[in-house]
Amino acid sequence: MTDQPSLFLHNSFSGHKEKFVPQNPNRVTLYVCGPTVYSYAHIGNARAAVAFDQLYRVLRELYGKNHVLYARNFTDIDDKIIAAAKESGEDISAITDKFTKIYQQDMGALGVLAPDLEPAATEHIQHMQDLISRLMTKGHAYAGEGHILFDISTYADYGRLSKISQDEMIAGARVEIAPYKKNAADFVLWKPSKEDEPGWDAPEDWGIKGRGRPGWHLECSAMIEAAFDGPIDIHGGGQDLRFPHHENEIAQSCCAGDLGDVPLARYWLHNGFLTMGDDKMSKSLGNIVLPHDLLNDWDGEVIRWALLSAQYRQPLVWTQSLLQQSKKQLDRFYRVLQDLADVTAANMPIPSSVLAPLCDDLNSPEAMAAMHALRDGVAKATDRAAAKGELLAAGAILGVLQQDPEQWFRGKAAGGLSDSEIEALLAERIAAKSAKNYARADEIRDILAAQGIMIEDSKTGTKWRRG
């Protein structure tokens, strides 16, 4: 592995691009804040998932597949989930199970590899309570009207990640003023649950009565402790999470645990926003596009290629034409692969022209430009097996070119006949022809044509594609 390039990552904590040096190259640790599972993920959420999947793929390449431990959580207890359950009349667990599975499927379709660990918050309530108890014992947390709050005045380093002073925070509009708080910027670790809300009994020594549930920030600190022991290498999330969510994770974890002088993670990475025009895409603005819907019309690789078209820290403006261009570009790759169908790809390393930009703070647009150059070089290549192998190896690290070119050009079903229905009709057509039932064979050709499906008979069988 000595000739691998070094990885450089922009660390939001220092504000600089830094050389990445893991604590232990045999066990590189990565945690990313995952979705709150009360609804479909939007394409902005998918950008975060794809960006950190890209990082995971690069880490696996540099350190080995078995030497990277990646955890991404599911927030399955939250006010928004409770509200969704009240509105629909469904059980909370029915909602969270459904949207957890949909998230996994949809992100899988975008080539997002399953993380090694996918902890759900409700599986770690005991750990969260234990973390709160430690904070209370050490004087960092206090009880007030059924809540347990973190006392930010006890943590002098509060604000180091977001570079916001405690005074600015208190003056800021983003903290909720409440009578049970000592300081306006103190945040909730545990809050009371109403009768009809899910809740867990608090340990007696907290001095509060009744059932309650964890605050969102606490969930990640507890799940990180449960998944990894001690400080982690990389913590990721969208830039909106930098304050207060990540600042609060640092405060909780550093005050409760024994992390030395590491602010929970040694490298903090934040992806930029995906926007619709000038606006951030968000559920509250109502301007959302769902990968779940896009996947009806577009292959997941097209969506992924579009999401990788901007470096992860840069803003990305989402448009229909971005999808169209991405489809066209991938078509050009698949056409070259189709022409190379009879060539067995040689097993090749990832070309450095593609790996090097990815190692430079995940510069995906530059890696994609290098892929275009590789593709254009195939026509002149003397060793076609090596050229094909290089293109496929480059595609694999970016999570594209994973399909059979024939399948690619067949396109998406988008509500029409499925692949298996088409195959069944074609089989019936062959049977009809050999039984000399040409009327039925022609009829099947017409049925397919009416659905925009073109068929082409050749010596090796019948090829088909959606028009």
Query: Interface with Zn ion by CB under 5 A: which residues?
Result: 33, 220
271 makes contact with ligand AMP (CB under 6 A): yes
Report, in Å, the least distance between residue 245 CB and Zn ion. 5
C-alpha span between 187 and 164 (Å, rounded) = 15
118 makes contact with ligand AMP (CB under 6 A): no
Binding pattern to ligand AMP, positions 39-78, x when CB under 6 A?
-----xx-xx------------------------------
Range 437-466, binding ligand AMP (CB under 6 A): none
C-alpha span between 78 and 223 (Å, rounded) = 15
280 makes contact with ligand AMP (CB under 6 A): yes
248 makes contact with ligand AMP (CB under 6 A): no
Comparison of 99 and 298: residue with beta carbon closer to Zn ion: 99
Place of tokens 């999401």: 307
Report, in Å, the least distance between residue 307 CB and ligand AMP. 9
181 makes contact with ligand AMP (CB under 6 A): no
Cα Rg, the chain, nearest whole Å = 26
Comparison of 280 and 335: residue with beta carbon closer to ligand AMP: 280
Comparison of 29 and 271: residue with beta carbon closer to ligand AMP: 271
Comparison of 33 and 303: residue with beta carbon closer to Zn ion: 33
Report, in Å, the least distance between residue 370 CB and Zn ion. 33
C-alpha span between 84 and 92 (Å, rounded) = 8
Comparison of 99 and 228: residue with beta carbon closer to ligand AMP: 99
Return the closest-CA partner of residue 250 out of 240, 229, 270, 235: 235
Q: How many residues at the interface with ligand AMP, by CB under 6 A?
A: 17
Report, in Å, the least distance between residue 257 CB and Zn ion. 15
Comparison of 153 and 314: residue with beta carbon closer to ligand AMP: 314
Report, in Å, the least distance between residue 289 CB and ligand AMP. 10
8 A C-beta contact, residue 18 and residue 11: yes
Name the DSSP letter for residue 149: E
Alpha helices (runs of H) in 185-319, residue ranges in sequence order: 216-227, 247-256, 291-297, 300-307
Name the DSSP letter for residue 194: -
Single-letter amino acid, residue 390: E
266 makes contact with ligand AMP (CB under 6 A): no
Stretch that binds ligand AMP, among 8-16, 270-278, 319-327, 448-456 (CB under 6 A): 270-278
C-alpha span between 150 and 391 (Å, rounded) = 52
CA distances to 19, 169, 248 from 255, in Å:
28, 19, 11
Comparison of 129 and 271: residue with beta carbon closer to ligand AMP: 271
Q: Encode burial over 177-215: b for 16+ CB neighbours within 10 A, e otherwise.
A: eeeebebebbbbbbbbbeeebbbbebeeebebeeebbbb
Comparison of 48 and 84: residue with beta carbon closer to ligand AMP: 48
Return the closest-CA partner of residue 302 out of 325, 326, 319, 322: 326
Helix (H, G, I), strand (E, B), or coil: what is residue 114?
Answer: coil
Binding ligand AMP by CB under 6 A: which of 12, 36, 100, 364? 36
405 makes contact with ligand AMP (CB under 6 A): no
Which partner in Zn ion, ligand AMP, none is near 220 (CB below 5 to 8 A by kind)? Zn ion
8 A C-beta contact, residue 59 and residue 66: no
Q: Compute the Cα dihedral for 392, 398, 402, 403 and give only its sign.
A: negative
Binding ligand AMP by CB under 6 A: which of 118, 197, 240, 406? 240
8 A C-beta contact, residue 362 and residue 10: no
Which partner in ligand AMP, Zn ion, none is near 339 (CB below 5 to 8 A by kind)? none
Report, in Å, the least distance between residue 248 CB and Zn ion. 9
Report, in Å, the least distance between residue 244 CB and ligand AMP. 13
* CB neighbourhood size of 138 (10 A): 11
Report, in Å, the least distance between residue 365 CB and ligand AMP. 17
Binding ligand AMP by CB under 6 A: which of 198, 199, 231, 238? 238
Range 298-337, binding ligand AMP (CB under 6 A): none
Comparison of 247 and 390: residue with beta carbon closer to Zn ion: 247
Comparison of 181 and 270: residue with beta carbon closer to Zn ion: 270
Sequence-distant contacts of 371-376: CB under 8 A, at least 24 apart: 371/333, 371/395, 371/398, 372/329, 375/332, 375/333, 375/336
Name the DSSP letter for residue 26: T
Positions touching ligand AMP (CB under 6 A) are 33, 35-36, 44-45, 47-48, 237-238, 240-241, 271, 273-274, 280-282
